[in-house]
Chain A
Amino acid sequence: MAVEIPEDSVGIVEPQHLHIDDPLTLRSGKVLPACDIVYETYGELNSEKSNAVLVCHALSGDHHAAGFHTKDDKKPGWWDTCIGPGKAIDTNLFFVVSMNNLGGCGGTTGPATINPETGKYWGPDFPVVTVRDWVKSQAMLMDRLGISKWAAVVGGSLGGMQVLRWAISYPERLASAICIAAAPKLSAQNIAFNEVARQSITADPNFHDGYYLEHDTYPKQGLTLARMVGHITYLSDSAMRTKFGKTVSDFENEGNNFGRDLRTGKLSFGFNVDFQVESYLHYQGERFSANFDANTYLLMTKALDYFDPSVDYEGDLSKAFENSDCKFMLVSFSTDWRFPPERSRELVNELLKAGREVTYLEVEADQGHDAFLLPIPRYINAFKGYLQRVHKEVCGNAS
């Protein structure tokens, strides 16, 4: 065993598969005739089917949110910090559902799966999907699981945007919406970063207009670069200083070297990797590019760019929430500069304007956007406290 499975883990989990034969009309107007969905569940569904929680993943996530697939896994699912017995999303209380979104690369129908009509990889021909389409497909899974109402829909970042869309599209199908480190829509700066990521992928000679799988290759360089850019926006300046500012060298002998730890202890006076932060980004980028599909990355960034529920309401987001019936909890983190607290406050204000019940926390945290994945005590305690109250309200004493 690579790691001892901790007591508060959901343990070994197995992904489930579901084939849906119903055609799904996408926001673009295109129709996906059928799809396969890969998902995982943790905890037990109660007899009233009232204790289900949907977890929505972000840009690089998938269905594997908690636990381990095998005893040899080095790392648990992406949100293991928050999902498990006694954790914020307590699997002793809740039945947790996490699916890989359409267009993803975790096994759900997407660019890296075979299009049954052609017998070839979908590749760049996979239709552009939006947050609205994802929520629609999540509702299809929900129907097949026999769940009529989620106790909570929960997500961070792009996952938080799905939470908002749930509250707008299916107001009667969720009791509470927990939206963490998200925004009502992307800013120009957010879109700019996404475009750099997309350009670095499509400009890679191994991209082959998106048909790289048929050429038995993938745009490793481009995807690595895309992830490096993305990763910078997930961390804060101070988090980087702390992470890479631990050693004193001849070059940086001040007490605070501003995160400029050297890799080998001296400068190369060439264009090699001199600083730790550089090699860290290379490592993160390469590890990611080996495990993620480039076309999926393009699709996910487009879904982010296109997200703006106010477009159907003459730009007035509060009108979008007028029919929502659930309670909302929003959380932001002080050093998150991708979706900073101001963006969450915008959401809070629109929800207030719509007369909704809102709880909002602004958590002091050094880790930037990544904070939503990390065990920050104040965040976890509030998250857990809120969900315990949801459980009490929705399930009473039954569990």
Chain B
Amino acid sequence: MRPDLEIIQQWIEPNSRVLDLGCGDGTLLHFLKTSKQVKEIGLEIDEDNIQRCIENGVNVIEQNMDHGLSNFQTNSFETVLLAQTLQALSNPDKLIDEMLRIGKKGIVTFPNFGNWKSRLYLSTKGRMPVSKFMPHQWYDTPNIHFCTVKDFDALCRDKNIKVLTRTVVDSQHQGSWAMKSWPNFLGEIAIYHITRD
């Protein structure tokens, strides 16, 4: 099992309603449907991903999150997921607000730009970091709003969002004691479980 799925599934109640914003090919929702019997809805805009969701037996709605989520009722889901999508949104802060309006709890995962590799790349090469994990050039990247673990902590503080759990893992989704001690320096992927205060 992918370690990030392992971490996320601990926070999902069996038979609960889960909304996945930017659900990709539906892997995560399919996993939660099988392991936790959740009632799932995924949002996606990529045609191939939508087709794969359908084939995976995952409910998927073609909808662009950047155009808002006002069609979703307040508190209509137990959990709203936002996995590896935060950095590609036009208004990530507004979306976090919407997540916690629609869902009682939110789970956000994002690539930590504060990771030492990014810092080293920028400080030694003087150019925007490009890696296997983040392969895009600055001009064609879908990732328009990079942030660090510290940045996200600050946003949660500003918005009075309660962080239930914060975990960081590497790009293989493995954690370690060192990452726990220096999350913003060593963590490659941040995983947050959040709720409204």
Contacts and interface: CB of A to CB of B under 8 A. Distances in A.
Interface string A188-222: 00000000000000000000000000000000000
Interface on chain B toward A: helix, strand, loop, or mixed SS? mixed
A361 interface: yes
Interface stretch (A278-286, A303-311, A347-355): A347-355
B50 A361 contact: yes
Interface stretch (B53-61, B80-88, B133-141, B182-190): B53-61
B41 interface: yes
B44 to A, nearest CB: 10
A355 to B, nearest CB: 7
A362 interface: yes
Nearest to B71: A349
B51 interface: yes
Given A352-B41, A382-B50, A385-B51, A345 B59 contact: no
Interface residues of B, number: 19
Q: Of A348, A382, A388, which is in contact with the most chain B CB atoms at under 10 Å from its CB?
A: A382
A349 B69 CA distance: 11
Contacts of B51: 378, 381-382, 385
Q: Of B17, B53, B60, which is in contact with the most chain A CB atoms at under 10 Å from its CB?
A: B60
A349 B51 CA distance: 21
B62 interface: yes
B62 A352 contact: no
B76 interface: yes
A25 interface: no
A213 B53 CA distance: 53
A170 B78 CA distance: 29
Given A345-B71, A352-B71, A382-B50, A389 B55 contact: yes
A241 interface: no
B76 A355 contact: yes
B76 A359 contact: no
A288 interface: no
Q: Of A348, A353, A359, which is in contact with the most chain B CB atoms at under 10 Å from its CB?
A: A359
B196 interface: no
Contact of B61 (A359, A385, A389, A393): A359
Contacts of A357: 39, 41, 59
A364 to B, nearest CB: 9
Contact of B73 (A352, A360, A385): A352
Contacts of A361: 50, 62
A26 interface: no
A386 B57 CA distance: 8
A378 B71 contact: no
Interface string A350-388: 001101011111100000000000000010011001101
A179 B79 CA distance: 28
B72 interface: yes
Given A345-B71, A352-B41, A353-B73, A389 B57 contact: yes
B76 A358 contact: no
A359 B73 contact: no
Interface of B: 17, 39, 41, 47, 50-51, 53-55, 57, 59-63, 71-73, 76
Given A359-B54, A386-B54, 18 more contacts: A345-B71, A352-B71, A352-B76, A353-B73, A355-B76, A357-B39, A357-B59, A358-B59, A360-B60, A360-B62, A361-B50, A361-B62, A378-B47, A382-B50, A382-B51, A385-B54, A389-B55, A389-B57
